[in-house]
């Protein structure tokens, strides 16, 4: 499959759905980042590319960035979105997921789902004839990772050979950073407290991708070891949505994993600080770091819009 964004500025992806980071090929992921840059530079050029296309947004969890950027993305491309919040319930509680999917496919051209359980995403994709996009699950956050690597590409140019250090919980964000980074040639180091390592199956998939791309992956319990030589230091909240009951215990376990000025200084002099937001300032990151010139957290947030525009163009055109 050709991946030249010059000959074919909108590369149609081979997959019908994006349930995990692995549903896009390496070539498609690279083409998406190139398209995101084009969309960001020349938004008017794409303003009517998805006229008459509509998204259903199904959200089991609260959202600021994901909801706003998907709604704005489809609107700025000429289409529209319908939002459904489940207010503490799960997709499938009121009626079977297969019925939800087959109703929606009659009305919209794509489904964006933000769920507690990856199985919900998989079940929607199993039954839907229109694309299903994972906007966050317990295992993956692929749209966030695409925006993150687009941000890294903007800041440093070539991705291959960069090092990203993730400090904190081996969660859905860490999983997507490992998978996407490994196949794009970015070295990824993850530092977690004992017992909070990434999912072994996800890690094995990332290691296979790294072997093919030449990237290196490293797991450690020492945050200073992880950030050594890093171009980017990334963290996330210690207790994700749905883990509120664990918050007190997690604060104790993660106390030594805060991204402070001292930890950031152990990375490269030009290192940037990244966070998917929302941030708990004073917990996983100090206020001084998130407000420092090294912080690109709002660039990441902006780039959710551009990366998701590129994704919608590739999946819905």
Domains contained in the chain, number: 2
Residue 251 in domain: yes
Nearest in space to 238 (alpha carbons), one of 178, 158, 174: 174
In Å, how far are 17, 131, 254, 279, 312 from 237, measured between CA atoms? 28, 30, 10, 6, 28
Residue 11 in domain: no
Provide the pLDDT for residue 107.
98
Residue 41 shares a structural domain with residue 117: yes
Residue 2 in domain: no
From first to last of its 317 residues, the chain has per-residue pLDDT tens of 333 333 445 888 876 899 999 999 999 999 999 999 999 999 999 999 999 999 999 999 999 999 999 999 999 999 999 999 987 789 999 999 999 999 999 999 999 999 999 999 999 999 999 999 999 999 999 999 999 999 999 999 999 999 999 999 999 999 999 999 999 999 999 999 999 999 999 999 999 999 999 999 999 999 999 999 999 999 999 987 666 778 789 999 999 999 999 999 999 999 999 999 999 999 999 999 999 999 999 999 999 999 999 999 999 99
Could you give the count of Cα atoms lying within 13 Å of 39 in the half-sphere of its Cβ?
Answer: 31
Provide the pLDDT for residue 13.
81
Residue 1 in domain: no
Provide the pLDDT for residue 242.
66
Residue 42 shares a structural domain with residue 93: yes
- Residue pair 50/105 in contact by the 8 Å Cβ criterion: no
Q: How far apart are alpha carbons 136 and 190 in whole angstroms?
A: 20
| Active site members | 114, 141, 144, 236, 276, 304
Residue 133 shares a structural domain with residue 149: no
CATH number for position 148: 3.40.50.1370
Provide the pLDDT for residue 3.
37
Residue 65 shares a structural domain with residue 169: no
Residue 236 in domain: yes
Residue 149 shares a structural domain with residue 279: yes
Residue 13 in domain: no
Residue 127 shares a structural domain with residue 192: no
Provide the pLDDT for residue 9.
58
Residue 219 in domain: yes
Residue 89 shares a structural domain with residue 190: no
Residue 197 shares a structural domain with residue 216: yes
Residue 200 shares a structural domain with residue 270: yes
Residue 307 shares a structural domain with residue 230: no
- Residue pair 275/118 in contact by the 8 Å Cβ criterion: no
Nearest in space to 84 (alpha carbons), one of 102, 61, 106: 61
Predicted structure pTM score: 0.95
Instruction: Give residue 93's domain range.
Output: 21-140+303-316
Residue 259 shares a structural domain with residue 131: no
Residue 14 in domain: no
Residue 89 shares a structural domain with residue 208: no
């Amino acid at each position: 499959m050709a991946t030249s964004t010059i000959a074919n500025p909108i590369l149609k992806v081979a997959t019908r759905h994006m349930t995990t980071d692995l549903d896009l090929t390496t070539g498609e992921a690279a083409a998406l980042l190139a398209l995101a840059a084009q969309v960001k530079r020349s938004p008017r050029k794409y303003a009517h590319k998805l006229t008459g296309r509509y998204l259903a947004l199904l959200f089991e969890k609260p959202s600021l960035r994901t909801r706003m950027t998907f709604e704005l993305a489809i609107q700025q491309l000429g289409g529209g979105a319908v939002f459904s919040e489940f207010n503490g319930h799960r997709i499938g509680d009121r009626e079977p997921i297969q019925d939800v999917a087959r109703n929606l496919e009659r009305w919209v051209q794509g489904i964006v789902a933000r769920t507690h359980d990856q199985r919900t995403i998989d079940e929607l994709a199993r039954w839907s004839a229109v694309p299903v996009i994972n906007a966050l699950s317990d295992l993956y956050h692929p749209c966030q990772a695409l925006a993150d690597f687009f941000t890294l590409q903007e800041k440093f140019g070539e991705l291959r050979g960069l090092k990203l250090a993730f400090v904190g919980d081996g969660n859905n964000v860490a999983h997507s950073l490992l998978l996407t980074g490994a196949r794009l040639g970015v070295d990824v180091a993850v530092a977690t407290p004992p017992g909070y390592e990434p999912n072994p199956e996800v890690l094995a998939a990332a290691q296979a991708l790294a072997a093919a791309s030449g990237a290196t992956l490293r797991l450690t319990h020492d945050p200073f070891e992880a950030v050594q030589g890093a171009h980017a230091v990334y963290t996330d909240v210690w207790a994700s949505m749905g883990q509120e009951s664990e918050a007190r215990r997690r604060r104790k376990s993660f106390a030594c994993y805060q991204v402070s000025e001292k930890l950031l200084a152990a990375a490269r002099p030009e290192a940037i600080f990244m966070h998917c937001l929302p941030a708990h300032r004073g917990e996983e990151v100090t206020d001084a770091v998130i407000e420092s010139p090294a912080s690109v957290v709002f660039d990441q947030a902006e780039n959710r819009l551009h990366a998701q525009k590129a994704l919608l163009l590739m999946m819905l055109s």
